[in-house]
């Protein structure tokens, strides 16, 4: 027994003739008769009798018709849901993503505008956290995936996919004296007010050691913990900052400029997901939107 046979039963009951059923289902009249005969053989019941050229349903056919209707409605719902999942008209209740705090202002809204063009029916929950927290949320499967900077081992329960690179830059106001330089060194920052991030984190420790090695005392004016706040402070003339070019590119709308900083260091960024856990189509699509937004922000 198959679904096509049940469709013949349902249509025959509605139309009362093999000719009308064949026309409705796009089959030949012999094809309808064959499917009906197969169904009767499969269930060992006669479902129709002929009376003066008319098909009369048996009581057994009428009893089975209700179940056939529910089965076919279930198949139709299944088929429609599969289509909606593919097209973005439906999806899991929520897709959860972890992003650094510095991505909330412009990056995340643009990413979601792109995403909702094709997946309008999915609810998104965004977590703006530190890299450490994003890694923990990923490992604990609280979020579907997160954006992280590679820092050695990001966690045993995490799979990482590289998606972006950066290098160290000095961000300064557009009219700053150092803006005329092609690159900025540690010695150029002697007595220059600094806005630094990541106190006691590995990359900050390495930067502090570089200043010490060069014999330059840092004039730290502001300690902060996000790239966005560092760029905002720079834009308001409070000092200069040293961050990754990846994040500096997210804030080119501010009145700041970035110059390569020496000694040069590089950074790699990736998408973290729980190890061994497949992503839904909706989550995969959000990941694709994030990658497209990265390409846009880094190429402008």
Mean pLDDT of 274-281: 88
- Shared-domain flag, residues 7 and 78: yes
Joined tokens for residue 145: 């995936």
Domain termination site, one of 37, 71, 87: 87
- Shared-domain flag, residues 50 and 72: yes
Res 262: pLDDT? 92
- Shared-domain flag, residues 171 and 246: yes
What's the CATH number where 211 sits? 3.40.190.10
Where does the pLDDT of residue 276 fall: very low under 50, low under 70, confident under 90, or very high at 90 and above?
Answer: confident
- Shared-domain flag, residues 145 and 293: yes
- Shared-domain flag, residues 158 and 170: no
- Which of helix, strand or coil describes residue 124? strand
Best mean pLDDT range from 10-14, 68-72, 143-147: 143-147
- Shared-domain flag, residues 173 and 235: yes
Res 293: pLDDT? 93
- Shared-domain flag, residues 280 and 235: no
Mean pLDDT of 85-103: 75
Note the pLDDT tens digit of each residue in 189-230. 999 999 999 887 888 898 999 999 999 999 999 999 889 999
Say if residue 89's pLDDT is above 80: no
**C-alpha to C-alpha distances, 246 to 6, 165, 243, nearest whole angstrom:** 59, 7, 8
Mean pLDDT of 230-252: 94
Domains identified in the chain, total number: 3
pTM of the predicted model, to two decimals? 0.68
47 or 273: which leads in pLDDT: 273
Mean pLDDT of 94-121: 90
Domain that holds residue 45: 3-87
């Amino acid at each position: 027994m198959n679904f096509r046979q049940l469709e013949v039963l349902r249509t025959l009951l509605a139309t009362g003739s093999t000719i009308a059923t064949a026309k409705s289902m796009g089959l030949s009249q012999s094809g309808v008769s064959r499917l009906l005969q197969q169904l009767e053989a499969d269930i060992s019941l006669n479902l129709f009798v002929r009376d003066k050229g008319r098909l009369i349903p048996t009581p057994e056919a009428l009893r089975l018709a209700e179940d056939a209707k529910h089965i076919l409605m279930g198949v139709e719902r299944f088929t429609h849901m599969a289509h909606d999942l593919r097209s973005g008209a439906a999806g899991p209740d929520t897709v959860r993503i972890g992003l650094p705090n510095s991505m909330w202002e412009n990056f995340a809204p643009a990413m979601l505008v792109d995403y909702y063009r094709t997946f309008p029916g999915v609810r998104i929950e965004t977590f703006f956290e530190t890299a450490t927290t994003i890694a923990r949320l990923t490992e604990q499967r609280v979020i579907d995936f997160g954006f992280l900077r590679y820092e050695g081992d990001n966690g045993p329960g995490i799979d990482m996919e590289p998606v972006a690179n950066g290098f160290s830059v000095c961000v300064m106001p557009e009219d700053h004296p150092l803006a005329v330089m092609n690159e900025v060194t540690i010695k150029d920052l002697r007595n220059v007010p600094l806005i630094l991030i990541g106190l006691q984190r590995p990359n900050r420790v390495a930067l502090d050691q570089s200043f010490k090695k060069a014999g330059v005392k840092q004039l730290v004016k502001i300690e902060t913990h996000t790239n966005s706040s560092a760029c905002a402070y720079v834009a308001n003339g409070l000092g200069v900052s040293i961050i990754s070019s990846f994040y500096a590119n997210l804030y080119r709308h501010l009145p700041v400029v970035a110059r390569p900083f020496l000694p040069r260091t590089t950074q790699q960024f990736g998408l973290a997901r729980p190890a061994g856990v497949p992503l839904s189509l909706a989550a995969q699509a959000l990941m694709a939107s994030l990658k497209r937004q990265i390409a846009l922000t880094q190429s402008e």
